[in-house]
Amino acid sequence: MSTGVPNRFRRCGLWYPQALQWNARQPHKWIGRTFQVARSGKVAVIGAGFYGSTTAQRLAEYDIFETVVLTDIIEGKPEGLALDMNQSRPIEGFETKVVGQTTGPNGEGYEAIAGSEIVIITAGLPRKPGMSRMDLIETNAKIVRQVSENVARHAPDAVVIVVSNPLDEMTALAQIATQFPKNRVMGQAGMLDTARFTHFVAEELGVPVASVKTLTLGSHGDTMVPVPSACTVDGKPLSELLPAEKIEELVTRTRNGGAEVVALLKTGSAYYAPSAAAARMARAVHEDSGAVMPVCAWVEGEYGISGVYLGVTAELGKEGVKRVVETQLTDSELAALKEAAEAVRAKQADVQHL
Ligand code: APR
């Protein structure tokens, strides 16, 4: 989108208080009620696979960062992708620079992420058809630990957003390995699961996705907790628009949303919707927007649950998670959330030994 504004500035839409919700429309598309913001700061994406490269591209196209750094252990891959993305700048009309950097087994190259305000960890294997996210735990734990230690060394003030799977466990591990305050480490899952649920509801009813509001909490896995009581279409409760069996069907499809894509792709897992979610979280942190989004955050007393990384709604800003925002749940939804918390608690305790 070309705006013809001076180099370091461009038009961005107002992020109105009433729009402080994860599913608000892209502010920079709100032409008319606009103001200018400086392009600033550095965000790093570790892992230049499908998820990482798409995330880097989305962040660059927001045109709100000075620099997007993309790293990988495959020699030349991040540099090549960065060059390619930079060459799209005149066409897409953004000035953010993308820097690619190969990193070595002993942390060589990590100087490139120095000063990053946000680091998104996408390094790790994706699952293959038939695999659960949990099947990746041993391999990805080694990768996420090594990456996190280097992040702590080179970007000690960053907010970390983890996307590698199994998500809840890798988020807990990244906090342990970085030793960052818990509010500065969070995971991306709820935004994605919620977006999938919204998409399925919109398709079922033949309505625009913008009219649908859904919510999923809990873990990014079998104990995902879709919250039908919080779901509305144009403000009407979903339960008034669809029979309970149909809602249950959509809930099940949401829970298996990632596996459905994996089965179709045959190699690799989803990355368009996941990268949209991760990039939007990073944007909320960068803009200190206070946007409330479903994320994997450290829970300390909310919903009567403590001491675990869990999918909840949280307000995001410069310091990462500003606060966990409790949603009104039915008794059965609350019971399911507590069950999810206990399931991931056990795994998160194990992860520190991996
Ligand atoms: N440091 C940096 N990059 C690494 C490291 C490491 N230590 N180990 C692996 N990588 C890189 C790989 O070289 C590869 O380029 O991570 C990238 C992973 O890319 P893909 O295989 O394309 O996987 P992707 O679809 O991007 O998924 C990444 O996100 O959704 C989750 O389950 C998924 O855990 C997986 C992660």
C-alpha to C-alpha distance for 325 and 254, rounded to whole angstroms: 23
Three-class secondary structure assignment of 24-70: CCCHHHCCCCEEEEECCCEEEEECCCHHHHHHHHHHHHHCCCCEEEE
Last residue of a domain, one of 155, 171, 187: 187
23-41 as b/e: b if 16+ CB within 10 A: bbeebbebeeeeeebebeb
Residue 97 DSSP one-character state: E
Which residue in the list 28, 220, 286, 353 is annotated as catalytic? 220
Q: Is 52 in the pocket of ligand 1 (CB under 6 A)?
A: yes
pLDDT digits (tens, 9 = 90+) for 127-186: 889 888 888 999 999 999 999 999 999 999 999 999 999 999 999 999 999 999 999 999
State the amino acid at position 251 in one-letter form. Answer: V
Calculate the CA 141 to chain-centre distance.
Answer: 18
What pLDDT was estimated at residue 8?
Answer: 40
Q: Structure tokens of 97?
A: 């620079």
What pLDDT was estimated at residue 201?
Answer: 98
Query: Is residue 257 domain-shared with residue 345, that is, in the same domain?
Result: yes
What pLDDT was estimated at residue 37?
Answer: 52
3-state secondary structure of 336: helix
pLDDT digits (tens, 9 = 90+) for 74-131: 999 999 999 999 999 999 999 999 999 999 999 999 999 999 999 999 999 988 898 8
What total of structural domains would you count in the chain? 2
Tell the residue nearest (CA) to atom 19 of ligand 1: 49
224 domain residue, yes or no: yes
Q: What is the CATH number of the domain that holds 90?
A: 3.40.50.720
Q: Is 274 in the pocket of ligand 1 (CB under 6 A)?
A: yes
**Does the pLDDT of residue 6 top 90, yes or no?**
no
44 domain residue, yes or no: yes
Report the pLDDT averaged over residues 10-30.
37
Is 220 among the catalytic positions? yes
Q: Is 148 in the pocket of ligand 1 (CB under 6 A)?
A: no
Residue 100 backbone dihedrals phi, psi, to 5 degrees = -100, 140
Query: Is residue 243 domain-shared with residue 327, that is, in the same domain?
Result: yes
Last residue of a domain, one of 171, 187, 203: 187
The secondary structure of 174-223 as a DSSP string is HHHHH---GGGEEE--HHHHHHHHHHHHHHHHT--GGGEE--EEE-SSTT
Q: Is 187 in the pocket of ligand 1 (CB under 6 A)?
A: no
For ligand 1, the distance from its centroid to the CA atom of residue 87, given in whole angstroms, is: 24
7 domain residue, yes or no: no
Query: Is residue 179 domain-shared with residue 294, that is, in the same domain?
Result: no
- The residue among 247, 275, 259, 180 whose CA lies nearest residue 221 is 259
- The residue among 286, 308, 311 whose CA lies nearest residue 158 is 286
**Does the pLDDT of residue 278 top 70, yes or no?**
yes
Quickly count: other Cβ atoms within 10 Å of residue 138's Cβ.
Answer: 10
What pLDDT was estimated at residue 16?
Answer: 31
Query: Is residue 115 domain-shared with residue 44, that is, in the same domain?
Result: yes
Last residue of a domain, one of 167, 187, 207: 187
Q: Structure tokens of 321?
A: 């998670």
Q: What is the CATH number of the domain that holds 221?
A: 3.90.110.10
Query: Is residue 237 domain-shared with residue 149, that is, in the same domain?
Result: no
Mean pLDDT (the chain, rounded): 90
- Number of residues that this document lists for the chain: 354
Query: Is residue 166 domain-shared with residue 216, that is, in the same domain?
Result: no
Report the pLDDT averaged over residues 295-321.
97
The answer to whether the beta carbons of residues 164 and 126 sit under 8 Å apart is no
Residue 330 neighbours by CB under 8 Å, 6+ apart: 229
- The residue among 193, 210, 202, 215 whose CA lies nearest residue 270 is 193
What pLDDT was estimated at residue 33?
Answer: 52
Q: Which residue in the block uniquely carries the two structure tokens 């450290």?
A: 298
C-alpha to C-alpha distance for 42 and 37, rounded to whole angstroms: 15
Residue 270 neighbours by CB under 8 Å, 6+ apart: 192, 257, 258, 261, 262
**Does the pLDDT of residue 14 top 60, yes or no?**
no
The ligand 1 atom at the shortest distance from the C-alpha of residue 53 is: 26
Query: Is residue 247 domain-shared with residue 147, that is, in the same domain?
Result: no
pLDDT digits (tens, 9 = 90+) for 201-216: 999 999 999 999 999 9
For ligand 1, the distance from its centroid to the CA atom of residue 228, given in whole angstroms, is: 33
**Range of weakest confidence among 21-25, 109-113, 304-308, 321-325:** 21-25
Which domain range does residue 79 map to?
38-187
What pLDDT was estimated at residue 10?
Answer: 38
17 domain residue, yes or no: no
330 domain residue, yes or no: yes
Query: Is residue 199 domain-shared with residue 342, that is, in the same domain?
Result: yes
20 domain residue, yes or no: no
Angle in degrees, CA 44, 45, 49, rounded to 5:
160
Residue 158 DSSP one-character state: -
The answer to whether the beta carbons of residues 274 and 192 sit under 8 Å apart is yes
